[in-house]
Structure 1
Amino acid sequence: MDFGLTAEMLARIQFAFTVSFHFIFPAFSIGTASFLAVLNALWLWKRDEAYLQLFEYWKTIFAVTFGMGVVSGIVMSYQFGTNWSVFSDRAGAVIGPLMGYEVLTAFFLEAGFLGIALFGRKRVGDTLHMVAVAAVAVGTLISATWITSANSWMHTPAGFSIGADGTFIPEDWWAIIFNPSFPYRLTHTVLAAFLTTAFAVGAVGAWHLLKSSSNRQARIMFSMAMWMAALVTPIQIFVGDQHGLNTLEYQPAKIAAMEGHYESHPEGAPLVLFGLPNEAEQRMDLAIEIPKLGSLILKHDPNAPLEGLDAFPADGRPPVLVPFFAFRIMVGLGLLMLAIGLWSLFERWRKTIYTNAWLHRAAVTMGPSGFVAVLAGWYTTEVGRQPYTVYGLMRTAESLSPVDAPAVGASLMAFVIVYFLVFGAGVFYLFRLFRRPPVLNEDHELDRGPHRSAGINPGPAQEDTIREGAGHAD
């Protein structure tokens, strides 16, 4: 079962498929873990039961997402041995320790404190429980750091020598870990995770505000999400621009593919807003361009020369179709996120942020935008790295295991069937959780008795919201 494709192409499709499923779960769980830490800290500081209820609401969602991320990550890692054994053999001395450090420092931290964070509040007390929640959040960030470092090294390799047998030998671990693209890639990835969570939380909050604008818990999470959108999106756009400049320095062919420049521009490159890449003729058909703007953005000089794909050997050029369109999807969604954030600030100033149904509908529509954006960004950077696994040093065709196309095709079909069944069910369950009102009753293990006895009572408005939410609970 080879679908008429080579073993290399099938192995690439299989890895892209599994990593796409995997990537969306950590992107959500990284942000959700930090969101839970903030909610728990606010509960301890203010003793406002609304924050405790939101923590209990979102911790279940986090647990499901975290579990799916772990399972999909384990399955994905096996492909290094089955499909990419030559890469593993030659680059294993560099990539292996980085992946191992992620397990030792991040996964063990998350696993050690996860049970306490999810179930231990009544058993260990508020202080130790807060430590556990914070440890899980820190663990997700440490995990992102090591994985991003390993991936960044494949794009901008440093701190190594090449042995007589072609293997990469570590020489300077500081240079390997903090390779040239790592700071930009890590910052961009973590901010993307926060924005992914913010727009998912905002969509859930907006959904429940459309049902009842007086729902206090929905108001809180919508407000927090919109603050994140308004404050972090401009920072992310700036970081993305800096990451692009770093890519131009170390991977200029990728930039040429992203920008759709088949030809070099010695006197200033245009910004191609839209076009249809024509790989056969090496040109951009139906191009809509703004003269000089490409050079102005990338080199801060409208007349600065900019290399196109024709400046690189034909066998060293990345494909254009995927990076070109994926990059525009990512940028377009980023601009829409910025628009939603600015709109929310305007409605906050008008004191209508909780009652403007059009803003809420827009927020619900933008709920999946973070997931789509991170996948688009991933496809841009990984397809743009082709035809290399280790940029400029090891080709993808040289990295493949000695496997036949039918074998890879059969395993790909198995992955597709199993993933859609298992993770489809998981995502369906998550949507069931999202639809549940953000108010917990006696069926959801929120013990309100001790807090009442301590004099921590919700106000009348909260009591009304709690009764209303309980009456509509699934």
Structure 2
Amino acid sequence: MDAFLLSRLQFAANITFHILFPTITIALGWLLLFFKLRFNASGAAKWNLAYRFWVKVFALTFAIGVVSGVTMSFQFGTNWPGFMATVGNVAGPLLGYEVLTAFFLEATFLSVMLFGQQRVGARLHTAATFLVAGGTTLSAFWIIALNSWMQTPTGFEMRDGVAHVTSWIAVIFNPSMPYRLVHMLLASGLTMAFLVAGVSAYRWLRGDRGDEVRATLRTAITLAAILIPLQIVAGDLHGLNTLHHQPAKLAAMEGIWKTERRVPAVLFALPDEATRSNRYEIAIPALASLYLGHDFDAEIPGLDQFEGKHPPVAPVFFAFRIMVGVGMLMLALSWTGVWQLRRGGELKPWLACAFVAATFLGWIALVAGWYTTEIGRQPWIVTGVLTAADAATTVAPANVAFTLAMYLTLYLALIVAYVSVVFHMARKAKEIAAQPDDPRLAGQGADTPAESAANHNLRSHA
């Protein structure tokens, strides 16, 4: 394997690992704010206990996300020097804005969230939670703006082979950016909701059935049931935007080889690039024309219009179907969960087990969707401007292979450790929630409901 392929594998491994963790923290920050506001309003201990447990999961997730993000940024210079040399005038400032306006908010106020609940007033602690949640979303905004610009670049001109910005508004709010941002934020919400539901169901099955567990379980399942239909709508709109701006990617996603009318929706097939056809195809006639062109007779561009300039079909085709399939499973699980909770007040054991098994189901959909959009951009690294091959390093393949092996080993160990620690925390949730934020208060434990209400009133006045 040459340095180009190895560099692609290394960056894919890094972004696959890194994206798992910001996806959780983006939405979990807002859920923590919800817990905090409910506690402030009611004084109910269950919301405070939920906050105290999940803020520690947030901190763990945030830390791993930061470390993996730093190593990923190094690869722009080491593995993809042509990228920064050509479009660094666009990418550099956007990455800088993300650090200056988002990361500093998260890193600064996270310590207040973790250690300040018994040291600062309720309003300041709530404000810190809000700022951290806002920082995670602002971070997503800048990263999605850059990635979307790479997909649908606007607001620049090329001078001597280098991109120069002519309009930052056009760069940031490029044609695909709003769709990608909404799609990503909803994906984050679903990933977080299934994580919270799975861990809460795990605690429930182990006999930890206090008010806090019931509250977090109900909240997470309800949130998932609300978000998944919104994600389906957002995904459809994103697909239409992709058809307009990146038709080669859309054709690969749908397995459309020839430009024609009444295009079928391919449910399953084995795309064959040698014969430029789908083997063992199972399809619904004319359906793709209907949902893509809103007309059974709509003509949809096929891969025959992009000879030599379309992505590898099979990876995009299957990644898209995995994403959609997992989304349908999420829909079935969350709606079944809401139905059971409304009827009986708690989950049946079999469904609780299903939620435990689905704790990290959002990660599968997320990675499949990310592969769809990133592989679907090939052979371009910036559509129509710079190919991945032109941006790649000339470093010896053996060097890239060595670092790739190191990355994969470390990432595998960290994934196993993260999952193990999260479930270990779930088993020790009562002890974790009882630990005071201030070490000087050790031994006092968590507040009783009456004490929580009294302390809430005192902190509010303070």
Q: TM-score if structure 1 supplies the norm length?
A: 0.91
Paired residue secondary structure (1:281): coil
**Partner residue, 1:472:** none
Structure 1 position 291 matched with structure 2 position 285: yes
What is the distance in 2 between the residues matched to 1:339 and 1:345? 10
Residue pair 1:54, 1:439 contacting (<8 A) in 2 also: no
- Which consecutive residues of structure 1, in runs of 5 or more, have no partner in the other structure? 458-474
Question: For residues 346 and 149 of structure 1, do their structure 2 counterparts lie closer, same or farther at Cα, with a shift above 3 Å needed?
Answer: same
What is the distance in 2 between the residues matched to 1:441 and 1:336? 32
Report sequence identity in percent.
Answer: 43
Q: What amino acid is the match of 2:333?
A: I
Residue pair 1:213, 1:355 contacting (<8 A) in 2 also: no
Q: What amino acid is the match of 1:128?
A: L
Structure 1 position 130 matched with structure 2 position 126: yes
Residue 240 of structure 2, aligned match among 245, 255, 277:
245
**Partner residue, 1:279:** 273
Residue 361 of structure 1, aligned match among 345, 353, 361:
353
What is the distance in 1 between the residues matched to 2:360 and 2:413? 20
Residue 326 of structure 1, aligned match among 319, 332, 336:
319
Q: What amino acid is the match of 2:151?
A: H
**Partner residue, 1:232:** 227
Paired residue secondary structure (1:137): helix
Residue 19 of structure 1, aligned match among 15, 19, 44:
15
What is the distance in 2 between the residues matched to 1:89 and 1:270? 43
**Partner residue, 1:448:** 446
Q: What amino acid is the match of 1:325?
A: F
**Partner residue, 1:379:** 371
What is the distance in 2 between the residues matched to 1:192 and 1:114? 23
Structure 1 position 210 matched with structure 2 position 208: no
**Partner residue, 1:390:** 382
- Which consecutive residues of structure 2, in runs of 5 or more, have no partner in the other structure? 438-443, 456-462
Paired residue secondary structure (2:161): coil
Deviates more, 1:213-222 or 1:374-383: 213-222
> Per-residue deviation at 1:254?
0.2
Q: What amino acid is the match of 2:236?
A: D
Deviates more, 1:435-444 or 1:298-307: 435-444
Residue pair 2:42, 2:453 contacting (<8 A) in 1 also: no
Deviates more, 1:210-219 or 1:81-90: 210-219
What is the distance in 2 between the residues matched to 1:270 and 1:449? 61
- How many corresponding residue pairs? 449
What is the distance in 2 between the residues matched to 1:290 and 1:437? 49
Question: For residues 370 and 167 of structure 1, do their structure 2 counterparts lie closer, same or farther at Cα, with a shift above 3 Å needed?
Answer: same
Structure 1 position 220 matched with structure 2 position 215: yes
Question: For residues 377 and 85 of structure 1, do their structure 2 counterparts lie closer, same or farther at Cα, with a shift above 3 Å needed?
Answer: same
Instruction: Give CA deviations for 1:273-321 in whole Å, capped at 9, x if unaligned.
Output: 00111122211110101000111111111111111111112x2011011
Residue pair 1:213, 1:219 contacting (<8 A) in 2 also: no
> Per-residue deviation at 1:401?
2.1
Residue pair 2:316, 2:372 contacting (<8 A) in 1 also: yes
Instruction: Give CA deviations for 1:430-469 in whole Å, capped at 9, x if unaligned.
Output: 2311333457565565743597557659xxxxxxxxxxxx
Q: Kindly report the root-mean-square deviation, in angstroms, between the aligned alpha carbons of the 2 structures.
A: 1.8
What is the distance in 2 between the residues matched to 1:194 and 1:183? 17
What is the distance in 1 between the residues matched to 2:299 and 2:414? 50
Q: TM-score if structure 2 supplies the norm length?
A: 0.93
Residue pair 2:36, 2:126 contacting (<8 A) in 1 also: yes
Question: For residues 247 and 455 of structure 1, do their structure 2 counterparts lie closer, same or farther at Cα, with a shift above 3 Å needed?
Answer: closer
Residue 103 of structure 1, aligned match among 99, 102, 106:
99
> Per-residue deviation at 1:88?
0.7
What is the distance in 2 between the residues matched to 1:152 and 1:146? 10
Residue 116 of structure 2, aligned match among 106, 111, 120:
120
> Per-residue deviation at 1:126?
0.9
What is the distance in 2 between the residues matched to 1:320 and 1:57? 44
Paired residue secondary structure (1:161): strand
Deviates more, 1:437-446 or 1:288-297: 437-446
What is the distance in 1 between the residues matched to 2:264 and 2:202? 42
Instruction: Give CA deviations for 1:164-185 in whole Å, capped at 9, x if unaligned.
Output: x211100000000000000000
> Per-residue deviation at 1:360?
1.4
Matches within 5 A, 1:382-421: 382-421=374-413
Q: What amino acid is the match of 2:401?
A: G
